[in-house]
Structure 1
């Protein structure tokens, strides 16, 4: 049972929400929130400590506070939230290494909960319909957040071998969505025109932010679960999601999708990378049997219901999206030319 809990990443939306929810649990006597900047939102009775998990100082905080449970939520999915891709990788990978080194040296640590991602499974045309926790990726993520998540889980496995006495829960979340959270995917579906890979209609799974918090609380105060997939029931396709959001779509061949992503990034509308284009082409499905049978959690929202709740909260379009109009026309022209070349090449084969 968790008593003194240290939570990383409390200045970000989900980390702050989780810290506040944890302070409402009577079984938890103390919650310590750690981040490099003070949170702008309410974290309840949690004590904020300004610290960088990349710094060995984190070890002193754990030792002095006699922390028995660490919840690592500071694995950042979006580079702009971290100040760029280099900072993102340093926080995700180097930060995790330092945090685990501190946990390894602390005899008081009894449980480690890690917020991971289903991005570790990658996205490819050879993927199974549903990934179970014992399956590996058919195509290993080579860039961005997916690659970071694979490395983070590798360091966590190493920690588990060195400290077999520590209970471990690694939660692999499908894309988290809801009215309050902002990610590259929520920005994507808030665009006035949604680019989609030409010839593809990927299956998507989502987990509502309420269920994300619920599973994190269950993993912190309930039984240890090991690696566990977290997602809402059912799937929706990219085209169905666009229709629910009331957005027009523009089909783009894969190379042009990368160009469009660069335009969106420069306009400050969405942070879209090559691994996300792969995801939108091939999608991903998660088997959540272990979430129910071992973690004991039944999600409140299905995938569709989670997306619909997100849509109710997005309003019309992202702020500043008027700047996208001319960009859409230019890239659409490029895409049309590229599609024409693809068709012409097909006729010549």
Structure 2
């Protein structure tokens, strides 16, 4: 018998993509998708997979906040659970309180069902680098064991902190289960649907005056591959149990992101941008949460050494490449990147010093293009 994998959050883009990919793996026999509603809209439908050798797929419409999830796990004899339903936003018009209940209460119910499942062998939980927070006195780089200066005070990041606490408690109670927590940086790609992707879709990007934060991204292809490797048996010489930061190599400044998108920026004082963020949330233009505002003020960078050396995976996309692929799928901004590049190159050429240096012993560079005044011959008195 191959693996029986239960996946939560399949109505979202990442969950649907993961289901389609894990079904293609040869050692998987059955994939059970769970969500409060079936996939629709922009998410890929996991049932539609043109591969005769793909694993069987079944969908169970279950709210994780209800005890019915235990029945689904027992009915299908699930041995691997991949929990992707920890999210910053809800489906449809779900409010913040319902999102928090789904993240925290739903995870508690799921872990309670997993604890009673004797055949469970592996648990994978999607988390976020937001658990480190964003503060002015943060270290330059966060490792997995680094304690944040200030814990997140609310929002999705706080939900993720609570979820990770419950997962650690489960790992102590069920030491026979291999537990993996994946802290993803901001996931981007052609089909990106995260709150930060909504921010970058604005025609003008409001920024905090005087700040240019460092950001990291992970491509959705790398995110799906990391999830697949965490759900399956580890390769020889690697281990997929533990907590891992997942991000592409390198960083981008917020100003660099804006230039790549062709979006002009609007620097504002912090009180003003907080008002703009509240207006954006009320009009549903973008989910500009306070935690996202802190990220766009102070930034956040994580170390991925454990991902490469222990987990055994090197992301295919760097941070710049992942964001570049995301930018290709966006509508062109008010300032096309090609024009911005041409203007920047022209300004650099005008402002750059003369490349021809003066020879030693002279006061300045020579100008061979300027004709020299002929010297008058010296007259000698006879």
Number of equivalent positions: 318
Check the 8 A contact 1:2/1:68 in 2, yes or no.
no
- Of the structure 1 ranges 51-60 and 41-50, higher mean CA displacement relative to structure 2 is found in 41-50
Check the 8 A contact 1:20/1:46 in 2, yes or no.
no
Q: Give 1:253 deviation, angstroms.
A: 1.4
2:248 matched to 1:245?
A: no
SS of corresponding position for 1:141: coil
Task: Kindly name which structure, 1 or 2, has the bigger radius of gyration based on alpha carbons.
Answer: 2
131, 138, 162: which one aligns with 1:127: 138
Cα distance between partner residues in 1 of 2:286 and 2:333: 12
Over the residues paired in the alignment, what is the CA RMSD in angstroms?
1.5
Cα distance between partner residues in 2 of 1:48 and 1:82: 23
Check the 8 A contact 1:2/1:69 in 2, yes or no.
no
Q: Give 1:295 deviation, angstroms.
A: 1.4
Q: Give 1:42 deviation, angstroms.
A: 2.1
Q: Give 1:248 deviation, angstroms.
A: 0.4
Check the 8 A contact 2:186/2:218 in 1, yes or no.
yes
2:207 matched to 1:196?
A: yes
Q: Which structure has the higher relative contact order (CA within 8 Å, separation 6+)?
A: 1
Cα distance between partner residues in 2 of 1:59 and 1:80: 23
Check the 8 A contact 2:65/2:105 in 1, yes or no.
yes
Cα distance between partner residues in 1 of 2:136 and 2:31: 43
- Choose between structure 1 and 2: higher helix proportion: 1
What is the TM-score with the length of structure 1 in the denominator?
A: 0.88
Structure 2 counterparts to residues 1-349 of structure 1, below 5 A: 3-40=3-40, 41-43=44-46, 44=49, 45-79=56-90, 83-223=94-234, 224-316=240-332
Cα distance between partner residues in 2 of 1:305 and 1:2: 36
Q: Deviations over 1:93-113 (max 9, x none)?
A: 000000000000110111100
Q: Give 1:316 deviation, angstroms.
A: 3.4
User: Using a 3 Å threshold, how does the CA distance of structure 1 residues 283 and 80 change in structure 2: closer, same or farther?
Assistant: farther
Q: Give 1:266 deviation, angstroms.
A: 2.7
Q: Give 1:261 deviation, angstroms.
A: 0.9
Check the 8 A contact 1:2/1:221 in 2, yes or no.
no
What is the TM-score with the length of structure 2 in the denominator?
A: 0.81
Cα distance between partner residues in 2 of 1:47 and 1:69: 15
User: Using a 3 Å threshold, how does the CA distance of structure 1 residues 282 and 42 change in structure 2: closer, same or farther?
Assistant: same
Q: Which 4+ stretches in 1 moved above 4 angstroms?
A: 79-82
Q: Which runs of 5+ in 2 are unaligned?
A: 50-55, 235-239, 335-382
SS of corresponding position for 1:114: strand
Q: Deviations over 1:67-108 (max 9, x none)?
A: 000000001112575601001000000000000000001101
Q: Give 1:222 deviation, angstroms.
A: 3.4
- 2:339 match: none
Q: Which runs of 5+ in 1 are unaligned?
A: 319-349
Q: Deviations over 1:116-136 (max 9, x none)?
A: 000000001111111111112
